[in-house]
């Protein structure tokens, strides 16, 4: 079955700490992977994506993610959290047919001062 | 540059009422989507339209109908609303369907629907 799993529905960090949001995908989906961010009462904004090429992908707002095929993972990181990073984050993968995105259940990131 | 525009943004319906959510994109994209977002469930695909003139069911199509009116517009209709359809609905679009590299899906701002 095609699926995307986000480990941890809620992650809390202190301002300045490392942010690590985990995402694993089923091996049956093609390796086209995305991270989206959703601020309260807003739509989804693309943070970064992996399609082909370099496995370390840099996105907006200082986020990056590494595609690891052997681990079927695409974890999102940021070296130093900022209060403005508090939001919900979604990992997504293109489905096998290439017609739509399959989403994980989301991880809410809280940042405390 | 408006991108993907959805209307209305907020709506309260009574059980059994019908309504249509409107979506338009100005990016000349071929593919359009309707997702619903529920707490703890992520986003689930309701229907999609790979190109003008075609529509296909997604993961949760029951209780919904769609119309791809033209290349720009893709509407979602609830014929007889039920409390289980209380959700946030997102329209999205994409330049092409398939696995083309760099083919990002862009989302609208969402429509908050409550069925009482």
Q: What is the pLDDT of residues A46-99, one digit of tens each?
A: 999 998 788 899 999 999 999 998 999 999 999 999 999 999 999 999 888 888
Q: What percentage of chain B has pLDDT greater than the value 70?
A: 95
Contact A94 B50 (CB under 8 A): no
Mean pLDDT across A35-50: 93
Please tell me whether residue A109 adopts helix, strand or coil conformation.
strand
Q: Is B58 on the interface with A (CB under 8 A)?
A: yes
- Whether A9 and B40 lie within 8 Å, measured CB to CB: yes
Residue in B33, B50, B102 closest to A51 by CB: B102
Whether residue B42 and residue A34 make contact (CB cut-off 8 A), yes or no, is no
**Residue B73, token pair as written in the block:** 């517009």
Distances (CA, A) of B101 to A24, A33, A57, B71: 20, 11, 14, 22
| Both structure tokens of B105 | 């899906």
The dihedral sign for the CA sequence A10, B88, A74, A63: negative
User: What does the alpha-carbon distance between residue B83 and residue B87 come to, in Å, rounded to a whole number?
Assistant: 9
Tell me the pLDDT of chain A averaged across its residues.
93
Q: How confident is the model at residue A102 (pLDDT cuts 50, 70, 90)?
A: very high
Strands A64-68, A56-58: pairing is: antiparallel
Q: Please write the tens of the pLDDT for every residue from B75-107.
A: 999 999 999 999 999 999 998 777 665 578 999
B105 Cβ neighbours under 8 A, 6+ residues apart: A34, A100, A101, B33, B92, B93, B94
Average pLDDT of chain B is 93
**How far apart (Å, rounded) are the C-alpha atoms in residues B15 and B83?**
7
Contacts of A100 in chain B (CB under 8 A): 33, 45, 48, 58, 105
Nearest alpha carbon to residue A77 among A92, A54, A59: A59
**CA-based end-to-end distance of chain A:** 41
Phi, psi of A84 (to 5 degrees): -70, -5
- The mean pLDDT of B61-85, rounded to a whole number, is 97
Q: Could A51 and B101 be called an inter-chain contact, meaning their C-beta atoms sit closer than 8 Å?
A: yes
User: Nearest residue on chain B to A51, judged by CA atoms?
Assistant: B101
Alpha carbon of B79: minimum distance to chain A alpha carbons (Å): 25
Q: Give the pLDDT band of residue B10 (cuts 50, 70, 90).
A: very high
d(CA B23, CA B72): 8
Q: Do A51 and B45 touch (CB under 8 A)?
A: no
Q: Are the CB atoms for A42 and B108 separated by under 8 Å?
A: no
User: A interface mutation test: which of B2, B38, B99 has the most A CBs within 10 A?
Assistant: B99
Contact A100 B101 (CB under 8 A): no
Q: Is the pLDDT of residue B58 over 60?
A: yes
**pLDDT for residue B1:** 58
Q: Pick the residue with more confidence: A74 or A2?
A: A74
Chain B residues near residue A8 by CB distance under 8 angstroms: none
Q: Give residue B102's pLDDT.
A: 55
Q: How far is B39 from chain A (nearest CA, A)?
A: 8
Give residue B100's pLDDT: 65
Confidence of residue A6 (pLDDT cuts 50, 70, 90): very high
User: Per-residue pLDDT averaged across A9-17, rounded?
Assistant: 97
Beta bridge partners of A12: A110
Among B93, B64, B81, which Cα is nearest to B11's? Answer: B81
Choose among A51, A90, A98: nearest Cβ to B43.
A90
Instruction: Tell me the percentage of chain A whose pLDDT exceeds 70.
Output: 100
């Amino acid at each position: 079955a095609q699926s995307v799993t986000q480990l941890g529905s809620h992650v809390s960090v202190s301002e300045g700490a490392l942010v690590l949001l985990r995402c694993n995908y089923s091996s049956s989906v093609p390796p086209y992977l995305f991270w989206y961010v959703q601020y309260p009462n807003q739509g989804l904004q693309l943070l970064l994506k992996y399609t082909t090429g370099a496995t370390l992908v840099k996105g907006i707002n200082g986020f990056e993610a590494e595609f690891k095929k052997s681990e079927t993972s695409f974890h999102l990181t940021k070296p130093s959290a900022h209060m403005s990073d508090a939001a919900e984050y979604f990992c997504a993968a293109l489905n096998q047919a290439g017609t739509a995105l399959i989403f994980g259940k989301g991880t809410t990131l809280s940042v405390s001062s | 540059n408006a991108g993907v525009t959805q209307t209305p943004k907020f709506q309260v319906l009574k059980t059994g009422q019908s309504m249509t959510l409107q979506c338009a994109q100005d990016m000349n994209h071929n593919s359009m989507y309707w997702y619903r977002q529920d707490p703890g469930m992520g986003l689930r695909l309701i229907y999609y339209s790979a190109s003008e003139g075609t529509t296909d069911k997604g993961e949760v199509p029951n209780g919904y109908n769609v119309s791809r009116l033209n290349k720009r517009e893709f509407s979602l209709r609830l014929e007889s609303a039920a409390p289980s359809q209380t959700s946030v609905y997102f329209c999205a679009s994409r330049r092409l369907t398939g696995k083309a590299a760099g083919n990002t899906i862009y989302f609208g701002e969402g429509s908050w629907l409550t069925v009482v």
